[in-house]
Chains A and B, each alone.
Chain A
Amino acid sequence: MVTKLPKVDVVTVGVGWTGGIIAAELAKQGLKVVGLERGKPRSTDDFLMIHDEYRYAIRYELMQDTSKETITFRNKPNQRALPMRQLGSFLLGEGLGGAGVHWNGQNFRFLPYDFQIKSMTEEKYGANKVGADYTIQDWGITYEEMGPYFDKFEKTIGVSGEPSPLGGQRPDKYPTPPMKETVITKRFKDAAKKLGLNPYHLPSANLSETYKNPDGEQINACQYCGFCERFGCEYGAKTSPNVTVIPTAQKTGNFELRTHANVTRILHDGTKATAVRYVDVLTGEEFEQPAEMIALTSYVMNNTKLLLVSELGTPYDPNSGTGVIGKNYCYQILPGATGFFEKERFNTFMGAGALGATVDDYNGDFFDHSDLNFIHGGSISITQTGLRPIQNNAVPPDTPKWGPEFKDKSIHYYNRVLNIGSQGASMPFRHNFLDLDPTYKDAYGVPLLRLTYNFTEQDKNLYKYVAERSAEIMKEMGADEVVTSQTAENYNIVPYQTTHNTGGVIMGAEPETSAVNNYLQMWDAENVFVVGASAFAHNGGYNPTGTVGALAYRAAEGMLKYSKQGGSLV
């Protein structure tokens, strides 16, 4: 028994950053929007007990319940994929606000090079720089065209920052000044300058001062309490959808939020979507919500899964290289260096998720790749996010993992270790992709998404180069021992790496090689907009949220346009 509900203008599948932005922008214009969120409601008031490392950072209270739904994983197509039975390599969010609740708040704009990576690489290095198995492509939009949307997102969330000396043009300042300078950020900047690099304070959505955004929402000043990543902010000082775009949407009177609503299928007639079907996860009741426009605004994984399950768009086939849904899954490459300091102790237990300093000298194409066996690179940062005691037990190499020596050294070095890390760009590869698993199903009987992914030669070469550059900075910072991180031979789903998954429903200029156009409108279903990092044609050298937010504003503009004129927008 499926209950059919009255038609609305817009339905969003998921209510995090992208769903919240779409809802706010369209509801402000008078469209009736329903937001379907599979998790529970939550707000700043729910984070009073947040300073609990075990509950939130180890047992993952805010994350996806994998007993209900997970993915399956294998390194290559000839392996049997097995379920990711517990969270590890990345932390999928759940609940109102999505991953926008537990992010760190590091907010960048992807580079001009990112949006035109194929043509700019070919122009400078020739057509064969990376080889045909690396399916890089231009995104169908330029950095200049993205400018107004970046600006809008930064003003909505109140970013505290200063421009990168090397980054793309920014006509306007950041809305709030950079976060505080600490011993750690200053040490990094001094060392970087001595090496001839161009450091700047990391652009942060943990705000340096109280700020009122253009929608009238207030974001408070950060207290540097050291609980950002994996946590919600009890001060409302780390910008989240829950303190900005979601209340903005609600104030219009045109937005209806339904929590505990898990969408299982998009219904369509082959050319247009007609409705979504969802389950009330508390009661098991099924509903059909018809809408003029549907915005897929869940995470990378579920955006891709819903299209595959609903048979909307052509699934990607790695053998022929044809099809688009599930194509160009990318991750991020995380080279870095650890410094052990014998004589100094640092206040590493204090901090904020986006308190840090960054250099872009080895990011994008800011350095010559003519004699290098990879393209792109990564931003290199030191961050002071608040090191907590369960998770942080760094010891020099060759120290046993337990016992007297481990205890002694993990305690001795607890406040004597600094880390430099890079957000290394990840290039798409023919055999890294998403499709449906043939065996395993979720709690609602829907197949799990299957991830096939491994590190490539490009990844390993980039890793080695950027790790060595990170170690140079750490050495200059005066560490007594510098440990340069080493790339893994195979990608491993177990240890936490990063929640910067991208691709699967990529954007581009042609329907043959992309799933959505530069308004994130599906080529194959004009009233479906697929919003999020799923649209990234590759992953760049920064944290992705700034670019995700900008693309959501771009999509909102497209949906408004579509509501008036219909048809394909490009």
Chain B
Amino acid sequence: MAEEKPQTMSRRRFIRNTSLIAGGAAIGGGLLGALVGANLDDEQRTDPNKQTASQQAGGQNNNEALMYFTSREDFEVLSAAAERILPEDDHGPGAIALGVPYFIDHQLAGNYGYNTREYMQGPFYPGEETQGYQTPLRRNQVFDEGIRMMKELSQKNHQKAFNELEEAEQNEILSQFEQGKVQMRGVDSATFFNLLRSAVLEGAYADPMYGGNRNMEGWKMKNYPGHQASYLNQIEAEEFQEIEPQSLHAFHK
């Protein structure tokens, strides 16, 4: 993995370190993680090279806090899985540095997570593949169960937390979910995996106001200019147009 950015590096190391401490001390990883996390945030606040744009503009990013997950450990498992789906590489940041785990957390706390616009009346039957989503579980419950099973499988197969595993081991577990091979309660594991994969891509490339696509880095990787009022003067151009991206924050002036 070439040239990781300092901020991401420290974040990834933080996740690993936290897990090691939690494993060794047999204390709730969530509590320790939160404490270490607070320290890290302090470190980031004082080092201008590790600050996000909003921090540099004069404050911490208060949006980076948990609305749905109650366990720091669950959030770290989610983060590690998201990073495997969209890893950091030469193109730029991966899911964690893009803020995707916070995006997913926030989505799970709202309409998306509670299926407010989905038909959720019974009776429920498994149905054919062509008939789509048929679980009585809401999306946030599907994530709860999926993360629970990821934790169980890592302990069973490797005696470690999912976020402590080697990348190849994490990939192997995720593949089992993808192939529908993990026995889950109330839902097919492929349904969980597909939801997770979609949510990662959504977080990477949605407008940054949702908490992912941090600093429009997702868009920059794709040379996607985001919200532009008009391409009237460029639509006939022969050459590819590189345009500085802009988000809907442009209206907040």
Known contacts A53-B205, A86-B132, A389-B219: A404-B87 contact under CB 8 Å = yes
8 Å CB contact of B85 from A73, A402, A491: A402
Interface magnitude class on chain B: 35 or more
8 A Cβ contacts from B176-218 to A = 178, 197, 200-202, 204-207, 210, 218
Contact between chains at A84 and B130 (CB < 8 Å) = no
- Which residues of chain B have C-beta atoms less than 8 A from A80's C-beta? 125, 127
The 8 Å CB contact of B230, one of A66, A85, A225, A390, is: A225
User: How far does the alpha carbon of A60 sit from the alpha carbon of B253 in the complex, in Å?
Assistant: 27
C-alpha gap A407/B87 in the complex (Å): 7
Chain B residues, Cβ within 8 Å of A79 = 128
When distances are taken between beta carbons in the complex, the residues of chain A under 8 Å from B133 are 85-86, 494
Residue of B86, B132, B222, B229 near A225 (CB, 8 A) is B229
State whether the Cβ of A349 lies closer than 8 Å to any Cβ in chain B: yes
**A125 within 8 A of partner (CB):** no
Could you tell me the distance between the alpha carbons of A49 and B174 in the complex, rounded to whole angstroms? Answer: 36
CA distance A65 to B251 in the complex (A): 28
Knowing A389-B224, A494-B130, the reply to whether A59 touches B111 (Cβ < 8 A) is yes
Task: Report the separation of the CA atoms of residues A384 and B236 in the bound assembly, to the nearest whole angstrom.
Answer: 12
Between A and B, 13 residue pairs with Cβ closer than 8 Å are A54-B202, A67-B120, A83-B119, A84-B131, A180-B236, A182-B235, A346-B240, A350-B235, A350-B241, A388-B205, A411-B221, A415-B240, A493-B132
Docked complex Cα distance between A181 and B237 (Å): 10
* Chain A binding surface, main DSSP class: loop
Tell me, rounded to whole Å, the shortest Cβ–Cβ distance linking B146 to chain A. 15
B202 touching A390, Cβ below 8 Å: yes
Judging by beta carbons under 8 Å apart, are A66 and B119 in contact? yes
Tell me which residues across on chain A come within 8 A of B201, comparing CB atoms.
390, 393
Minimal beta-carbon separation of B171 from chain A (angstroms): 7
Given A49-B248, A408-B91, A414-B223: A180 and B205 interface contact (C-beta under 8 Å): no
Those of B93-131 within 8 Å (CB) of chain A: 94, 111-112, 115-121, 123, 125, 127-131
Q: Do B205 and A49 have beta carbons less than 8 Å apart?
A: no
Q: Which residues of A contact B125 (CB under 8 A)?
A: 80, 82
A407 partner residues in chain B, CB cutoff 8 A: 86-87, 89, 91, 94
Q: How far is the CA of A276 from the CA of B222 in the complex (A)?
A: 52
In the complex the two chains form, is A389's CB within 8 Å of B218's CB?
Answer: yes
Asked if A54 meets B206 with Cβ closer than 8 Å, knowing A66-B119, A83-B121, the reply is yes
Q: Which of B128, B134, B171, B230 is A403 in contact with, Cβ under 8 Å?
A: B171
Known: A74-B131, A75-B128. A85 touches B228 (CB 8 A): no
User: Of all chain B residues, which has the CB nearest A415?
Assistant: B223
Residues of the A chain whose Cβ atoms lie less than 8 Å from the Cβ of B207: 51-54
Considering the chains assembled together, what is the distance between the CA atoms of A68 and B25 in angstroms? 50
Q: Contact between B118 and A86 (Cβ–Cβ < 8 Å)?
A: yes
Q: Count of A residues near B, CB < 8 Å? A: 64
A408 touches B251 (CB 8 A): no
A59, A85, A223, A403: the one contacting B232 at CB < 8 Å is: A223
- Asked if A65 meets B117 with Cβ closer than 8 Å, knowing A403-B85, A490-B130, A493-B131, the reply is yes
> Could you list which residues of chain A lie within 8 angstroms of chain B, going by C-beta atoms?
48-49, 51-54, 58-60, 65-67, 69-70, 73-75, 79-80, 82-86, 88, 180-183, 221-226, 344-347, 349-351, 355, 388-390, 393, 401-404, 407-408, 411, 414-415, 439-441, 490-494
Chain A residues positioned under 8 Å from B132 (CB to CB): 84-86, 88, 492-494
A82 adjacent to B117 (CB under 8 Å): no
Q: B90: shortest Cβ distance to chain A, in Å?
A: 8
Contacts of A355 in B (CB 8 A): 235
Cα–Cα, bound, A389→B92 (Å): 15
- A66-B118, A225-B228 known; 8 new pairs, CB 8 Å cut-off, are A48-B251, A67-B119, A75-B128, A86-B119, A390-B205, A402-B197, A407-B86, A492-B132
Residues of A contacting B86 with CB < 8 Å? 402, 407
* A85 with B120: CB separation less than 8 A: yes
B238 within 8 A of A: yes
Q: Which chain A residue shows the least CB distance to B237?
A: A347
Q: Is the CB of A401 within 8 A of B197?
A: yes
Answer whether residue B226 sits at the interface, using C-beta atoms and an 8 A cutoff. Answer: yes
Q: B89: shortest Cβ distance to chain A, in Å?
A: 6
When distances are taken between beta carbons in the complex, the residues of chain B under 8 Å from A346 are 240
The reply to whether B225 and A349 contact each other, CB–CB distance below 8 Å, is yes
* Given contacts A85-B132, A390-B206, A411-B221, A402 and B118 within 8 Å (CB-CB): no
Is B234 an interface residue when CB atoms closer than 8 A count as contact? yes
Q: Report whether A411 and B91 are in contact in the complex, using a CB–CB cutoff of 8 Å.
A: yes
Contacts of B121 in A (CB 8 A): 83, 440-441
Q: Shortest distance in angstroms between A185's beta carbon and chain B's nearest beta carbon?
A: 10
Q: Quick check: is B84 within 8 A (CB to CB) of the other chain?
A: yes
Give the residue name and chain of the B residue nearest to A350 (CB): B231
Known: A53-B206, A401-B197. Contact between A181 and B227, CB under 8 A? Answer: no
Q: Which residue of B lies closest to A389 (CB)?
A: B205
- Closest B residue to A181 by beta carbon equals B236
Distance in Å: Cβ of B204 to nearest Cβ of chain A? 8
List CB contacts (< 8 Å) of B59-95 with chain A: 84-87, 89-91, 94
CA distance A460 to B248 in the complex (A): 43
A58: chain B residues at CB < 8 Å are: 202, 206
Shortest Cβ distance from A413 into B: residue: B222
Structural contact, B224 and A349, CB atoms closer than 8 A:
yes
Distance in Å from the Cβ of B75 to the closest Cβ of chain A? 20
